[in-house]
Every structure is written in C-alpha cells, then in structure tokens.
Homo-oligomer: A and B are copies of this chain.
Amino acid sequence: MNSFASDNAAGAHPAVLEALAAANEGYAEPYGADALTRRAADRVRAALDADAEVFFTWGGTAANILGLAAVTKPWQGVICAEQAHIAVDECGGPERFIGCKLLTVPTRDGRLTPDGVRSRIKGVGVEHHVQPAVVSLTQATEYGTVYRPEQVGELADLAHGNGLLVHMDGARLANAAASLGVPLSEFTWRAGVDVLSFGGTKNGLLSAEAVVFFEGVRERALDFPYIRKQGMGLASKMRFVAAQFDAVLAGGLWLRNADHANRMAKRLAAGVQGTAGLLVTQPVEANAVFAVLPRRAIRALQENYYFYVWDEAADEVRWMTTFATTEAEVDAFADDVRAAVAGGR
C-alpha cells in the first residue's frame, strides 16, 4: 500500500544503512565518546557554519523536549503555534519532563507572527503566572510552510528584546533549507535561533536527531549531557546514531533528499490543483500538501493509500512526500485523487 501518510512511513536511505555497516568495526567508546560521533558533530557544525555545541539522540520528540529542558525552568512558558508538534503530538512530554506550560498561539498557516507572540508575553514579573521564556518555531511548519530568514529574524528580535530565547524544532529543517535555497545559518543562528533540533529521521535516517546550542546559550549546553541521560535520550552505542548523520552530511545527501521530497510535493500539488471540488489549503513550500476534498473521495482513496485526515470536520487531508517517493507514485496518486474527486472510481 502506497503511503503519503508521513515522512516516517519511508524507510532509510541506502547510504545510511551502508554507513551503519561501515561503523560496525571493532570496539568503540560508548555513549558518544568515540571518534565517529566527534566527526559527525563536526559535520553538523560545518553544515551550520557555526562553532556550536552538538549532541545526538534517537528521536525528534526527545530532541525537542531535552533541548527545551536545557533553557527552560519549570515555572516558565514556551510560546509556540497551536499546531506545534511540542503542543499537540508529544503527549504532554514537555509539561511532564520540564514542568513548563506551552503558551499556544492560533496561526493560519503554522507560522507564528510577531503579534501572535506578543499576545502571549504577559504577566511578566507576576508570580501567579507562568513566565514566558522561549519562543519555539517549527521549520518547516506542521503545515508544510517555511519561515523566511527575515521572518525568523523578526520573531527572534522580538523574543530577545523581551528576554526570551528562540528554539527551532527542525524535524524538517532540511526541507526548509531546500525550499529556501539559502545556507542553514541564514535562518538559524544568524537569524537569532539559540537552540535547534536538527532532524534526521524524517529525511531518510533510521532514527537520529541532533540538538544544537548556538553561541549565546553555550553555557546551558553544559547541562545537556545530564539532561539527555536523565531524559532517557543517551544512546549507548552512539556511533550508530552518529553514523547516520555522518552519511548524509558528508556529501550533501541531506539536502538532495529534502529537495527531492519537496519537489514531489510540488508535483503532487500541481497534479491535483485545479480539480473541481478539491482545494489545496496551504502554500506548498516543503514536503506536505494539505487539501480539502469530498469526504466520499477521501474514503475511496484510503482504500488504496495510507494518509491522515488532518481535520475531520473540514474534510482536510495531509499528504506527505519523502526522499523515497517516486515520480511514478506521485503521478499515479494524483490520477487517483482526480478520479476520486470526480467520483469516477
């Protein structure tokens, strides 16, 4: 059954599996004290063009929560979009592990706006209220949209001007980079991001994410090894996590994977747009297509494809493409979508 459900429904890029095999040589110091882990961290720094602190862990939820834990006290709040993964899809993990509150902001397209952020900076200095401490952006957003560097910069200026830090959930950071066509640094640290989840799993890795602390919060990174261990996120055979990043960062595969996924989403959008009865509801800037179509058509498609209905009430679906999605898969699916909407299936 073909899948447009999630980046996670795809497997791993063959180069990643080869890297695991190559890493499986002899003994290595466990817990990340090995040479391969050091090399992979160097590659992350090079990709970001930053002398940052870099740590690896298995999953994206852990990368977000543990990274935030390093910069948030329990009585503080994290401002984020209502749709943010940390707010909706982590089963309350930030609240349980950090103790903090998420201060959510409704958004139209997944992107926070300065006004939205400003609306949650209140009660400052009043002990009854959670104190806003971090603004968390998802890049690319849960709606497949992408913050432009200057949008990140404007939000970061607002945050910093109010004494808040900036966290970026980059589970799909590569898709954003491919979409923007600019170096990673331009929409991360140069735009004011302090802490970054650099996602790998959604981009063709088996299971690997990096947490990055930039210049201004380097001191907080000193705590991170303990936070990661206490937070159950320290891999004993770390070389196998690091090897995955090493594989895709070495020759630019991370960007090619993401660029391919993005192009498949654009191709899908192009293939279905204009169909009477179907509306693409969000700009297709990364590897997601959101669309409203007749419920009957959704049901018919779900017999042969695996994907999520994003908003049951609105008959809105989410179709994700991945590094592994082929043009043939996209074209066949677009055909089927058009037919289903037309009622001809």
- Interface-located stretch among A85-93, A267-275, A282-290: A85-93
Tell me whether B12 and A237 are in contact (CB under 8 A): yes
A97 smallest CB distance to B (angstroms): 7
* Complex Cα spacing A184 to B231, Å: 30
Tell me whether A95 and B99 are in contact (CB under 8 A): yes
Tell me whether B92 and A223 are in contact (CB under 8 A): no
- If A12-B24, A60-B236, A97-B232 touch, whether A127 touches B31 (CB-CB below 8 Å) is yes
| Chain A 70-95 interface mask (CB, 8 Å, partner B; 1/0) | 00011111000000000011111101
Question: Is residue A292 within 8 Å, beta carbon to beta carbon, of the partner chain?
Answer: no
Question: Is residue A247 within 8 Å, beta carbon to beta carbon, of the partner chain?
Answer: no
Tell me whether A99 and B96 are in contact (CB under 8 A): yes
Contact partners of A201 in chain B: CB under 8 A = 236-237
Identify which of residues 10-24 in chain A touch chain B, using a CB-to-CB cut-off of 8 Å.
10-12, 14, 17, 20-21, 23-24
* Complex Cα spacing A17 to B14, Å: 12
Tell me whether B8 and A127 are in contact (CB under 8 A): no
A88 smallest CB distance to B (angstroms): 7
Contact partners of A61 in chain B: CB under 8 A = 229, 232, 234
| Chain A 96-123 interface mask (CB, 8 Å, partner B; 1/0) | 1101111000000000000000000000
A240 smallest CB distance to B (angstroms): 5
Question: Is residue A58 within 8 Å, beta carbon to beta carbon, of the partner chain?
Answer: yes
A55 smallest CB distance to B (angstroms): 11
> Number of copies of this chain in the oligomer?
4
* Complex Cα spacing A127 to B1, Å: 23
Question: Looking at chain A, what size class is its interface with the partner chain?
Answer: 35 or more
- If A1-B27, A9-B29, A20-B17 touch, whether A75 touches B223 (CB-CB below 8 Å) is yes
Contact partners of A128 in chain B: CB under 8 A = 31, 88-91, 229
Chosen A-B contacts, 25 in total, with CB atoms closer than 8 Å, are A8-B236, A9-B27, A11-B28, A12-B240, A14-B24, A17-B24, A20-B206, A29-B306, A58-B207, A60-B236, A61-B234, A74-B96, A75-B91, A77-B92, A90-B232, A91-B127, A96-B97, A96-B99, A128-B229, A202-B236, A207-B237, A207-B240, A207-B241, A231-B232, A232-B232
Chain A interface residues toward B at CB < 8 A:
1-3, 5-6, 8-12, 14, 17, 20-21, 23-31, 58-62, 65-66, 73-77, 88-93, 95-97, 99-102, 127-131, 201-202, 206-207, 223, 225-237, 239-241, 306
